[in-house]
Amino acid sequence: MTNEAIGNSRRSFIKMAAAGAAAAATVNPLATSAAEERPEAGKKMRVALAGLFEEVNTFAVETMGLATITGSMSTGFQKYEGQQIIDEFRGTSTQLGGYIDALDEVTAEIVPTVYYTFGAGPTIEGKAYQKMKKDVLAGLKAAMPLDAVALTVHGAGVAEGVDDVEGDLCAAIRQELGPKVKIVMAIDHHCNLTDFNLRQVNLITIVKNYPHIDFYDVAFNAGKLLPDMVAGKITPHGYFEPLPFLMQCQSTMPGNLYAPIRIKAEEFAKRKGIYEFSYQYGFPFADIPFNTALVNCWAETPELASQTAKEFAAWIWKNRAQFAARTLTAAEALETAADELVSQERIAVQVVRDAKARSSKVLYDQSIVHLANATAQNERSFGFIPDSKSKGPVVIAEKSDNPGAGAPGDSTHVLQELIKHNVRQACVCAIRDPETVRQAVKAGVGSTIDVRLGGKLSKQSGDPIGGKAYVKSISDGRYTIVGPMLTGMRFDMGPAVGLVIGGVDVAVISGMMQAFDNGQMRVVGFDPRDYRIVVVKSANHFRAWWTDIASAIIDCDPPGIASNNLSTFKFQRKTRKVYPLDADAVYPEAAA
């Protein structure tokens, strides 16, 4: 396919999306190819590893430019090349870890090429995307001849002028390598797939769980199917069924809002003739024309793929009202945390009466009063004796400032409430503020510094917290994930410090990183068992580790660019009615 043809194809797709036709279900055309090229007898299947991974929040004010291609995940895109990919990701519970193990198991020849990754963040600048795309293509071209490419991408990439980064990248790979090379993708379920993307690949597998504890599994499954795909023994037929449904970022763990969706999808995946069945929840924080939920099905026949996807979509639509949640403000979350601590008998009733007697405030929320404490800030720098009845901390998840969804990670809303109500034995992990980190590092451990902490990177982050902060610890910000998700992956947040401000312990980091386990606490010397309340900047991935540690988990949703209150966003490129923003949205659209 020529550059002109690819450009025309892409423009045609975008034109359709703008007209509202992006909801049209699509069959993968590559599966209809009559001729299959089989590797020569006795030769190992050659499979390249490559990718470009970023989940993009288009509401973020920053951009990812050429300067962010630094090789350090604390400041931008990290590049892995050649054997680096194998050395870094073998043995990890990541997509690449899954691919590597699967390809080893089928005795394929693994050809690692180029992989860029950042996680989640703002829109990629055009020049930066084109450079990374060029590098990926050059790596694959140099690796030829190939039987297949196993791509590691997110599924919600957006660059300047390119709404569908994954589709654009796959089209370029397809043009470079030709129609006979198999392309598989294992991706996040917060993706925004398009029919343009579907036309370029031979299989797409999507994670089923949130937290995404199955990144490894979906890549492993894709890798295990490759030998039969390359040999022409199986031909997965792909089908997308979009729904006019903009979904929140909610957990699929047992007892959580989206658990029924996960369970239902698992039932469909077990049906005869299905190679892959999954549900795209979508990434709601991208203002693009095709941002909705979608059913992804790959089966033995196009008819089976279509029928199965439509059946599941109809079930989702019928039950859509039960898949919407109201979350709490910072003040409401703190009240709920206090109520939970009272129920655990970790706050005495006498403390309530004493707090009221001390206070000159006119209004006290009854449950927040339970947490009032007169201990001076300088005394708190010595720490405290953990509760004798502790069953683990109450964890407040500040979902609206989740760096894993592209939020800046510097919101002060919950910390303001903790300080306002003089809460003791509380910790916030973490606030991104490289300026304050540099200030603390320069002053040294044991110093007291004047700070303006957080609230600098977004209008919705709240005001900076001014005051004196005690420098408790200094760290290089490097740690290894020990939780069930991304186990073994090494993270570098840049320099980090542990501060005590307003009597609250705060991990302050330089880079943009959400909480996956207790790593952000460990790296600055904080122990989760010491605290009554721990605040994390994460939507759900933290649950993979914290569910067994926390005595309770409370979702919190103050203002932020990753808020689950989707009505607060101004979607200027929405081309059709979507639920729940539009109560009169219709599915299937032909019924309108």
User: Which CATH number goes with the domain that contains 102?
Assistant: 3.40.50.360
Give the per-residue pLDDT at 166.
97
Give the per-residue pLDDT at 371.
52
Give the per-residue pLDDT at 116.
97
Say whether pLDDT at 573 is over 50: yes
Read off the pLDDT band of 35 (50, 70, 90): very low
* Mean pLDDT value across residues 278-296: 97
- pLDDT-wise least confident of 328-337, 338-347, 440-449: 338-347
Read off the pLDDT band of 487 (50, 70, 90): very high
Give the per-residue pLDDT at 299.
99
Which comes out higher in pLDDT, residue 386 or 298? 298
CA–CA–CA angle 135, 157, 127 (5° rounding): 45
- Regarding whether 155 and 82 lie in a shared domain, the answer is yes
- Regarding whether 256 and 223 lie in a shared domain, the answer is no
- Regarding whether 282 and 182 lie in a shared domain, the answer is no
* 375-424 pLDDT per residue, tens: 445 666 787 777 777 889 999 999 999 999 999 999 999 999 999 988 88
Say whether pLDDT at 160 is over 70: yes
Read off the pLDDT band of 3 (50, 70, 90): very low
Give the per-residue pLDDT at 179.
96
- Regarding whether 302 and 224 lie in a shared domain, the answer is no
Residue 13: inside a domain, yes or no?
A: no
Residue 368: inside a domain, yes or no?
A: no
Residue 31: inside a domain, yes or no?
A: no
* 231-247 pLDDT per residue, tens: 999 999 999 999 999 99
- Regarding whether 249 and 182 lie in a shared domain, the answer is no
Question: The CATH number of the domain where 304 resides is what?
Answer: 3.30.310
- Regarding whether 273 and 193 lie in a shared domain, the answer is no
Query: Going by C-beta distance under 8 Å and a sequence separation of 6 or more, which residues neighbour residue 588?
Result: none
Whole-number Cα distances in Å, 575 to 18, 173, 189, 288 = 6, 29, 22, 9
Q: How far apart are CA 422 and CA 584, in angstroms?
A: 46
Residue 487 identity = T
- Regarding whether 250 and 215 lie in a shared domain, the answer is no
- Ramachandran bin of 462, using left for φ above 0, alpha for ψ from -120 to 50, beta for the remaining angles: left
Mean pLDDT, the chain, as a whole number? 89
- How many Cβ atoms sit within 10 Å of the Cβ of residue 544? 25
Give the per-residue pLDDT at 38.
57
Which comes out higher in pLDDT, residue 95 or 19? 95
Give the per-residue pLDDT at 378.
65
- Regarding whether 546 and 427 lie in a shared domain, the answer is yes
Read off the pLDDT band of 37 (50, 70, 90): low
Say whether pLDDT at 500 is over 70: yes
Residue 418: inside a domain, yes or no?
A: yes
Say whether pLDDT at 310 is over 60: yes
Q: How far apart are CA 163 and CA 180, in angstroms?
A: 27
Range of the domain at 122: 44-235
Query: Going by C-beta distance under 8 Å and a sequence separation of 6 or more, which residues neighbour residue 89?
Result: 80, 96, 97, 100, 489
* 183-192 pLDDT per residue, tens: 999 999 999 9
Which comes out higher in pLDDT, residue 384 or 507? 507
Read off the pLDDT band of 15 (50, 70, 90): very low
Structurally, how many domains does the chain consist of? 3
Give the per-residue pLDDT at 31.
60
Which residues is 206 bridged to in the sheet?
Answer: 187
Residue 410: inside a domain, yes or no?
A: yes
* Mean pLDDT value across residues 152-170: 97
Give the per-residue pLDDT at 379.
65
* 477-486 pLDDT per residue, tens: 999 999 999 9
- Regarding whether 142 and 212 lie in a shared domain, the answer is yes
Residue 1: inside a domain, yes or no?
A: no
Read off the pLDDT band of 29 (50, 70, 90): low
Q: How far apart are CA 563 and CA 582, in angstroms?
A: 18
